[in-house]
Amino acid sequence: MSEKIAIVIPVYNEAGAIGDVIEDVRAHGYTSIVVVDDGSDDDSFYIAAAYDVVALRHKINRGKGAAVKTGIMAANLLDVDVVVTMDGDGQHDPADIAPLIQPILDNTSDVVLGSRLLNKEEMPFVKVIANSFGNFFTWLLYGILVSDSQSGYRAYSRYAALIIDTKADKYEYDSKVIREIKNNRLRYTEVPVQTLYTEYSMQKKNKQGFVNGLITLYRMVWKMIA
Amino acid sequence: MSVHLYQIVVVGIASVMIFQGIKEFAKREAGQTVLKLCVRLLVWGGMALISVYPNFTWYLSKIIGIEDNINAVMVTGFLFVFLIIFKLLSAIEKIEQNISEITRKEALNEAHDRIQKLRLEILELKKKQ
C-alpha cells in the first residue's frame, strides 16, 4: 500500500534533523519520500539526497508554502493516490500518517488536516493562543473554522493535490489551503496528531512567532485586495 | 450639476480597476475569489461613489466625527499615492510569484530523472499487486 502514498517534507536549515526524519518515515513503511530544500544555508539538501529520496532544491529561499507546493507537484508526477505533507524538523510523528491517510483511503475525505489542538494538553499555552488567533482570522477571511489552521501535517487525495492551487509562498499557505477547500468544495476532516517538542525543535528560532504571525495576517489580507 | 475633472479621472480609474477585477474573476484566474472581487468593488466603487456624490462624505464625516471636508489637493495627493502604492505592491507581488515559479521549475527539472525512476518503481509495484 505504501507505494500509493508520497510523503512531502519541506526543509529549511534542518541538517540536524532531516536524516532522522527520513529514517523514521521509512521505518513506518513509507518509501516514496520527496524532500524539498528551500534554499538552506546548511547541508540539508545533500543529507536528504544521500538517503536516496527525491530531493529537490530551491536555489533561493522562497518560503514554506512555495516548498510544499513544489513537493506536491513532484508527488503528483509520481502518480500516487495520497500526498502527505509534514515538517522536516522532527515535530511530526510518522506514526500519525496512518490515521491521517485513512479517511482518504476510505474515500470519505479529499483533505485531512492534522490538528495539534485536538491534543491541546501537549502544546505550549502561547502556541495555543497564537493558533486560536490564526484559526479565527482564517475563518474570518476564508469562511471555514478549523481547530488548527496552521498545521503543516496534512494529507491530500490525488484529486485534491491536483486541484488545490494557491500562489501563497510563505506561512499563509496553510490558511490558503483552507480557502481552496471551500472554493473547490472539497471534503475535509480533522484528525488529532501528536507534536514532538524535541530539544532540537525547541532550540530553533520560532518560525511562526508573533511578528511572523502579523506578517502572515497582512499577506492574507493583502492578497484579497491586490 | 457641473462635472469636475477629478470626478472623471477617479471614475475612469475606478472603472478600469473594477473591470479588471470582474474580467479576472470571470476568467477564473488563479487567486480570484468572490471575496476578493467584493473587496475590490467596495474599495474602488467607494472611491467612485464619493467622487460622483461628494455629499456622501458628509455622512462619513458624521460617523467618523471629523467636521471639515478634506481639501481637493489632499484628496488628489492621497489618491495618487494610494494608486502608486497599490500598483507597486501588486507588481512586487507578481515578481515574487514569478521568481517562485522559476525556482520551482528549475528544482523539478533538476530532479526529473529521479522522479521518473521512482515513478517507474511505483508503477512496477502497483502492477505486481
* Closest-CA residue to A4 (of A71, A82, A75): A82
Residue B97 has its nearest CB partner, among A32, A167, A222, at: A167
Task: Report pLDDT for A48.
Answer: 95
Judge whether A61 is closer than 8 Å to chain B, CB to CB.
no
Task: Report pLDDT for A109.
Answer: 96
Distance from CA of A109 to the nearest CA of B (A): 23
- The residues pairing with A192 across neighbouring beta strands, listed in sequence order, are A115
* Cβ–Cβ below 8 Å for A79 and B106: no
Residue B71 scores a pLDDT above 60 = no
In chain B, pLDDT over 90 holds for what percent of residues?
A: 23
- The residues pairing with A156 across neighbouring beta strands, listed in sequence order, are A83, A111
Residue A84 belongs to domain with CATH number: 3.90.550.10
Contact A7, A34 (CB under 8 A): yes
Judge whether B29 is closer than 8 Å to chain A, CB to CB.
no
Chain position carrying cell 498545521: A151
Chain A residues within 8 A of B108 when measuring between CB atoms: 56, 70, 73-74, 77
Distance from CA of A199 to the nearest CA of B (A): 31
Size of interface A-B (CB pairs under 8 A): 87
Mean pLDDT (chain A, rounded)? 88
Task: Report pLDDT for A10.
Answer: 96
* Cβ–Cβ below 8 Å for A79 and B33: no
Judge whether A74 is closer than 8 Å to chain B, CB to CB.
yes
Of A171-180, B32-41, B67-76, B98-107, minimum mean pLDDT range: B67-76
Domain that holds residue A153: 2-225
ipTM above 0.90, yes or no: no
Judge whether B100 is closer than 8 Å to chain A, CB to CB.
yes
Q: For residue range B24-49, what is the model confidence (pLDDT) as tens digits?
A: 888 777 667 787 788 788 888 888 88
Task: Report pLDDT for A192.
Answer: 93
Domain count along chain A? 1
Of residues A10 and B3, more confidence is placed in A10
Contact A51, A19 (CB under 8 A): yes
Task: Report pLDDT for A226.
Answer: 60
Query: What is the grid cell recorded at A112?
Result: 485531512
> Mean pLDDT over residues B82-93, rounded?
81
* Cβ–Cβ below 8 Å for B104 and A179: no
Instruction: Collect the ranges in chain A with pLDDT lower than 50.
Output: none
Judge whether A179 is closer than 8 Å to chain B, CB to CB.
yes
Residues 6+ apart with CB under 8 A from A173: A63, A64, A65, A66, A68, A69, A166
Residue B39 has its nearest CB partner, among A54, A74, A224, at: A224
> Mean pLDDT over residues B56-84, rounded?
66
